[in-house]
Each structure stands twice: as C-alpha cells, then as structure tokens.
Amino acid sequence: MAGEAVVTAPTRRERARAATVDEIKQTALALMRERATTDVRFADIARAMGLTAPALYRYFADRDELLTAMIVDGYDDLSDALADAAAAVGGDDLGALLMATAEAYRQWASQDQQRFALIFGLPVPGYAAPSEGPTHEAAKRAMGNLEALVLLAMSRGEAQAPLVSDIGPALAAECASNPPVGAARAIPHPTYQAMLHCWAMLHGFACLEAYGHLHAFSDEARDELFIAEVRLAARAMGLPAPDPA
C-alpha cells in the first residue's frame, strides 16, 4: 500500500510533526538547563508545552528514545561547533586553528553542560546506551578534529617531533592495524599518542570547568590557564605554539 512517496517534499503534516519533535527536544533541553540535571520528566516537558504527558508518546516511544535523539543532536552540534570555529579562523595559521578548536570544545562544554554530560557522562538514570553505539562515534569525531589538524601540519611540513617518542608495542600494533580513528595509520605513533594527550587534557579541563571544579579561579585566570595548557599540548604534539587568542 504505502511505500512510494518517500522522496517527495515534506507534506504540511510532516513539517508540523518535525516542528513539534523539535519543540519537544528544545523544551527538554531548556528544562535540563533550568534544573541543572539531565533527568527530565516527561510530564514536565508536556506541561511546559501546554500539553498532557501522553501526547508526547506520539512522538517518542519512550523517555529513552527522546534522550537518544538528544544525544545524537548533541554530537552533531558539538561537531558543528568545532568545525565552525576552525572555519572561522581561515586555513592559514596552524596554531590559531588548534587554539580555536580547543576553545570551541571548552566553550561548548561550559555553555551546554547538560548536553556535554549527556554525551560524555554516565548514562542517564534509566537510559541504557546501545553498546558499540553512537558513543564511539562521538569520541571518533572529537578526535577526528585534532587528527585533521595534525595531518594538515604534516602535509605542510610544519610538524616537528613530539616530546615523547617512546611508544608501547600494543598501542603501536593497534594504531597500525586497526586505527581507532580514521587516518591514524598515516600519523606517526608518537604524534598520535601526543594527540591523545592533548585530547585528554582538553576534555579534562572542559569537564572540570563545566562542572564547576575550577571555580576557585576567576574567569580571567581560567582563560589564561587554558591558553597556556593548549600551548603546552601543542608543544607536546610538535605543532607550532599558538598565540593567545
């Protein structure tokens, strides 16, 4: 019976539906931010939208399904934020690119604590993340941004030897045979290792700051600290040290 009209333009109804789905996600996010929690009540979302709770089940089978959708959105948004930041620099200065990407990661985490927690934190109470699912995608994409930077540096001949050159056998084997990220094969292992170092530092800083564990410092001090840390990481990777943004 049905099965034909798949490629046609979205009908009026489909557009309305998509808008509602979006409104639900936005409302849920707003509630998360307001309550500083990733634990959203379906009933509250509905109330905030002037609906009754069961209505939402027309759009999401489950509370988990909503969360999954929001997590996927989060991936995309973070990816976009990083890409946009890099694009805004214009492709010239490698150090500036790194700094902009790092700063974008940091900003995103701080301004979107809830989504950051959704993506990188423990699974939300009831939510069981599909194992081997989108979680790995997030990690790969985040790393992918750094990776692109390093590849660019190598192709330009601006990359220098990373600070630590020894590397364990298991890590070397895995990077060569089954690289965790796309083009890892083309990156020298020590450099790859330094990239992971950079990511860990970046992620750690973002977590600590986003969750308020760095609030003993003023905003300015945190900014300075972050810049210095990115410069340090750049040095570890053998990339040119970025200027303070």
Partner DNA sequence: CATCTCAGTGATGCCCTGTAACAAAACACG
Partner DNA sequence: CGTGTTTTGTTACAGGGCATCACTGAGATG
Binding residues (CB under 8 A) for a copy of itself: these are: 36-39, 113-114, 117, 120-126, 128-129, 135-136, 138-140, 163-164, 166-171, 173-174, 180-181, 193-194, 196-197, 199-208, 211-218, 220-221, 223-225, 227-229, 231-232, 235-236
The Cα–Cα gap between 81 and 85 comes to: 6
Q: Which of DNA, a copy of itself, none has residue 133 at its interface (CB below 5 to 8 Å by kind)? A: none
Nearest to 158 by CA among 222, 205, 114, 92: 92
Q: Is 11 in the site for DNA (CB under 7 A)?
A: yes
CB of 20 to DNA, least distance (A): 5
Q: Which of 43, 88, 186, 228 binds DNA (CB under 7 A)?
A: 43
Residue 7 DSSP symbol: S
Answer whether 169's CB lies under 8 Å from 73's CB. no
Q: Which of a copy of itself, DNA, none has residue 16 at its interface (CB below 5 to 8 Å by kind)? A: DNA
Helix (H) or strand (E) holding 70: helix 63-89
Q: Is 158 in the site for DNA (CB under 7 A)?
A: no
Q: Is 52 in the site for DNA (CB under 7 A)?
A: yes
Q: Which of 53, 87, 171, 221 binds DNA (CB under 7 A)?
A: 53
Answer whether 234's CB lies under 8 Å from 177's CB. no
150 backbone φψ class: left, alpha, beta (φ>0; ψ -120 to 50): alpha
Q: Which of a copy of itself, DNA, none has residue 227 at its interface (CB below 5 to 8 Å by kind)? A: a copy of itself
The Cα–Cα gap between 14 and 238 comes to: 51
Positions in 61-90 near DNA (CB under 7 A): 61-64
Q: Is 26 in the site for DNA (CB under 7 A)?
A: no
The Cα–Cα gap between 182 and 26 comes to: 32
